[in-house]
Copies of this chain bind each other. A is one copy, B any other.
Amino acid sequence: MLESGEEHGDREKEKAGIKHMEKDRWIVKVSPEMTAPSLKDNRGDVDRLVGGLRKVLDGGEVSVDFGLTKRIPARLREYGYETQAVLYKGTYFWHLVELVPSGQEDPIYGLAVDLGTSTVVIQLLDLITGEIKDETSFLNPQVEFGQDILARIHFASEKGGLEKLQKLLIERLNEKIFHLTQENSIKTISLVGMCVSGNTAMTHLFLGLDPFWICREPYIPAINRPELIKSTELGIVINPEAPVLVIPNVGSYFGGDLIAGILASGMTHQDEISILVDVGTNAEVVLGNREWLMGCAGAAGPALEGGVARMGMMAGPGVVDKVIADPETGEFRIRTIENKPPVGICGSGLIDLVAQLFLLGMIDLRGKYVKSKCGKRLKQVDGVNHFVLVFSKDSGTGNALTLSQPDIDALIRSKAAMYTILTTVTRMINVSVLDISRFYIAGTFGFTIDPKSAITIGMIPDLALETFKPLGNTSLTGASLALLSGKAREEIYKIRDRVTYVELNVNQEFMNLFSAAKFIPHTDRSLFPSVRAWSSA
C-alpha cells in the first residue's frame, strides 16, 4: 500500500494561505479613545463610547443596537470607562457587538460554515490572527426528510416542514458549536461572527426562507443577497449581536458555495482564463478571469444523471482512493484511506483503476474488457464481466472488490458528460479547452484525483499536469476568507454581480459531443496526445 500522508500536505498549505491574507478585518476588537465623564464633559454614556470608537475607526460612523444601548451605561461604569469593544462593519457603518474590560486579551472568534446538502463543516477561526483553531463536521440532519435538494424542497412545502428543516439544522449546528467552545475553552460570547456558504436551497432552508419557487419555473429564489443577520434572529447560539454573513447566490442553481469557490480560487485576479470545476451532486463549472466570469451548473440532463454524482462518492476509512498498476508485474497496488483494509472504492480510485486498465490494454477504447489481457482477474458473475481489484482474502469486508462492466460504462458516461460540459462551456466563449491556463478542482475529491488518470480516461482535457490545482473545500475556504477580510467580503458581491449564469442546453450538438466523448480517451485521439505517449510507454 502507498502512504496516505500526501494529501495532508496540500490541506495544510491551503489552510496556511488564509494566514497570509491582508489583515483588513471587518470584525474587530478595538480600544475606544474615551475619558470618564466630568462636569466639563457630560456627554451621554452611549455617545461618549461612540465618539471614542469613531476616533479609532478611521472616522467611520458607529451604530449601537437598542438592546446594547440599555446595557452600556452599567458596563462602562463597571469597567471604569476603560473598555475594549468588538464591532463589525456593515455596509455603511460599524456596529457594536460587545464590550469587554480593558486589558482582557482574550481573542475573538468566528465560524465559517460550509452548508453542504449531505455534510456540514464548521471551522473555528481566530478573528485576530486568522488562524484555524478547530474544524468539525456533521451529516446534515435534514437528510432524514429528504436525501436530495428536491426532496427537501418538497418536504418544506408541507405544513410545518420548512420550520422543521430549519430547526433541525440550527439545533445540530448549536450542538456542534457548543462542543467547539467546550473543547477549545472559548466563551460563547467570544464567538462574534459567522459566515455561511451553501447552495441556494440549503441557504434558504438555513434562513427559514420558503424554497418552493427555487425548483419551479422561472426558478426564483426568495433572495439573492441576504443582508447581515443578527445571530439571535436565526437562533444561532453565539454572541447575540454577532453578524451572520450568508454568501449571496446568483440564482436557484448557482449558489453561494460556488461564489465562495470563485473567491477561494483567486481566478478573478488573473489575466489568463481559468476554469473551476466542482464535482458534487451536480457538475458545476465556472470559467473566467479578471474581466469576466461565466458559470454553468446543474445536472446535464437525464442521460447523465447519477453518473457524474458517482464520482463524488463519499470517502471513508478503508476506501480505495488510489490505484497503481506495476507495468512489469501487472500487479495492482492500492492505497486506502487511513491504511485500513479495503472496503470499497471511491471516485479517484475508480478513475485510477480504469486508466490503468486502459493503459495495460485490459479494456479497449469503448471501455470493454479484453478477456485475453485480463487473465485470472476477470470473472463472470451472472454473465457480467467483473474485474477483481482485491481478492476476498485481502478485503476488509470478506468479499472481493470488483469492477463490473456496467461500473465502467457508468464511469464512461460520467467522464464523457464532464468532458462535454467543459467543451461546451469553453466553446460558448470561443476558446478551446486547451487554452485554459489554470484548472481548479474544488471538493476534497480534487486532492485525491490523479490528473494523469483523469486525462487518460478523457475526463479532463490533456493540459500540462501542473495546470491542475486541487483546492479542497472551496465553499469553506471562501466562507473563511469572507469572514476574515473586508475586501474578500466585498469581492463576493462583485463576483456575484459579474457572473453570467448559463443554463446548460442539452441539445443535439451537446449530444453529438457527448457521443464522441464516450470513448477512452476520446474518438478524436489527437485531443489527447499525452495518452498516446503514456500508452506506448
- Cα A249 to Cα B47 in complex, Å, equals 11
Contacts of A38 in B (CB 8 A): 218
Q: By the criterion CB–CB under 8 Å, are B208 and A70 in contact?
A: yes
Residue of B nearest to A226 (CB): B69
Residue of B nearest to A41 (CB): B218
- A43 partner, pick from B67, B92, B207, B220, beta carbons under 8 A: B220
**Quick check: is A251 within 8 A (CB to CB) of the other chain?**
yes
Contacts of A39 in B (CB 8 A): 217-219
Q: By the criterion CB–CB under 8 Å, are B92 and A44 in contact?
A: no
Q: A69-B209, A227-B64 are in contact. Are A218 and B252 (CB under 8 A)?
A: no
Q: By the criterion CB–CB under 8 Å, are A223 and B46 in contact?
A: yes
**Quick check: is A45 within 8 A (CB to CB) of the other chain?**
yes
The 0/1 profile, CB within 8 Å of B marked 1, for residues 91-121 of chain A is: 1110000000000000000000000000000
Q: By the criterion CB–CB under 8 Å, are A45 and B221 in contact?
A: yes
Contacts of A213 in B (CB 8 A): 45, 73
Counting chain B CB atoms within 10 Å of each CB, which of A38, A207, A224 scores highest? Answer: A224
How many residues of A sit at the interface, in one of the four size bands?
35 or more
Counting chain B CB atoms within 10 Å of each CB, which of A38, A39, A213 scores highest? Answer: A213
This protein's copies in its complex? 2
**Quick check: is A37 within 8 A (CB to CB) of the other chain?**
yes
CB-contacts of A251-265 with B (<8 A):
251-252
**Quick check: is A409 within 8 A (CB to CB) of the other chain?**
no
Contacts of A45 in B (CB 8 A): 213, 220-223
**Quick check: is A225 within 8 A (CB to CB) of the other chain?**
yes
**Quick check: is A534 within 8 A (CB to CB) of the other chain?**
no
Q: By the criterion CB–CB under 8 Å, are B66 and A220 in contact?
A: no
**Quick check: is A210 within 8 A (CB to CB) of the other chain?**
yes
Contacts of A93 in B (CB 8 A): 91-92
**Quick check: is A233 within 8 A (CB to CB) of the other chain?**
yes
Chain A to chain B contacts (Cβ below 8 Å), 11 pairs? A41-B218, A44-B220, A44-B225, A45-B221, A47-B223, A69-B227, A70-B207, A70-B208, A70-B210, A73-B213, A73-B220
Residues of chain A whose beta carbon lies under 8 Å from any beta carbon of chain B: 37-39, 41-47, 61, 63-64, 66-67, 69-70, 72-74, 91-93, 207-210, 213, 217-227, 229-230, 233, 249, 251-252
